[in-house]
Amino acid sequence: MSETTVPSVRGPAARGSGGAHAALTEPRPVRIALTFAAVAFLTLFLLLPFAVVFVEALSKGLGSYLDTFAEPDAQAAIRLTLLVAVIAVPLNVVFGLCASWAIAKFDFRGRNLLITLIDLPFSVSPVVAGLIYVLIFGAQGLFGPFLQRHGIEIIFAVPGIVLATMFVTFPFVARELIPLMQDQGTTDEEAALTLGASPWRVFRTVTLPNVRWALLYGVLLCNARAMGEFGAVSVVSGRIRGLTNTMPLHVEILYNEYNYVAAFGIASLLALLALVTLAGKTFLEWRHADALAGRGAH
């Protein structure tokens, strides 16, 4: 029996494996051409622009480059960018944890709608998002007269910039956590509850440690987008120099004034932040790949 069944079982598997191997093995010229095309694409659209930013920023020497950051408007733009990120990112972390916990751990009416709404900023243009806030909180907007009567400024002020930034960045943390929490299931939490732990203690000692690396991954992506957001912020900020200009908006103003060294100097700072984010993202993917894929820490 074994002599007749083993070939019949192994034969198709072997043929399937060989077929897959053959399908993945391309002629050497094809592999070289594909590799060259990928490297050329990355060089042209990624490495070369990054290099140009730093070359232009340092084109008049290190002294002129450093003077860019001593200018009061540049310092104001940097402070505002950091302030917005410090406010928006933690709020998105809270939202991401709550939304992902609710979606992954509970079954409730409207669950699929919530998932769809989380993805909405990926589909809506940031400019449209900024315009929505203007129509709601602007002087002629839905709540504009009420806000004016009480002396509350949202549009053309820091609160509007924070709201616009939160809108375009809130999916990042939730989208990193939802698949991981769904993969982990509720076994660990149920065991902790059975042993007498309170819901808050379960979240703090079981759920949160299990998703910590995915959470940090989402925070990195959220922070990078928050600091680099242009479209939505440009609509709600009013672009008031020294007051409501973030770094991306300040770069545009300097470039339009033909102050290229200063424009590329601020742009180089954004590029450095992007590189730091990329380095952190790469490290997490390398060091904690299993946890990020939802296979670790049970």
pLDDT digits (tens, 9 = 90+) for 4-50: 444 444 444 444 444 444 445 778 888 888 999 999 998 888 889 88
What is the number of alpha carbons within 13 Å of residue 222 lying toward its C-beta? 31
Cα separation, 227 vs 267, in Å, equals 12
Where do the structural domains in the chain lie, given as residue ranges?
A: 1-57, 62-292
What is the number of alpha carbons within 13 Å of residue 93 lying toward its C-beta? 18
Per-residue pLDDT, averaged over 192-198, amounts to 83
pLDDT for 258-277, tens place per residue? 999 999 999 999 989 888 88
Q: Which residue has the higher pLDDT, 126 or 278?
A: 126
Among 59-63, 85-89, 288-292, the minimum mean pLDDT is found in 288-292
Total residues belonging to the chain: 298
> Which fold would CATH assign to domain 62-292?
MetI-like fold (1.10.3720)
Indicate the pTM of the whole model: 0.80
pLDDT class of 297 with cuts at 50, 70, 90? very low
> Under a CB-based contact definition with an 8 Å cutoff, are residues 192 and 202 in contact?
yes
**The pLDDT value given to residue 155:** 92
Per-residue pLDDT, averaged over 46-64, amounts to 90
Cα separation, 67 vs 56, in Å, equals 14
**The pLDDT value given to residue 278:** 81
Cα separation, 116 vs 164, in Å, equals 19
Cα separation, 86 vs 161, in Å, equals 12
The H-assigned helical ranges of the chain are: 2-24, 28-42, 48-57, 62-70, 72-105, 111-118, 120-123, 126-137, 144-149, 158-169, 171-184, 187-194, 199-202, 208-210, 212-228, 231-237, 247-256, 260-287, 289-292
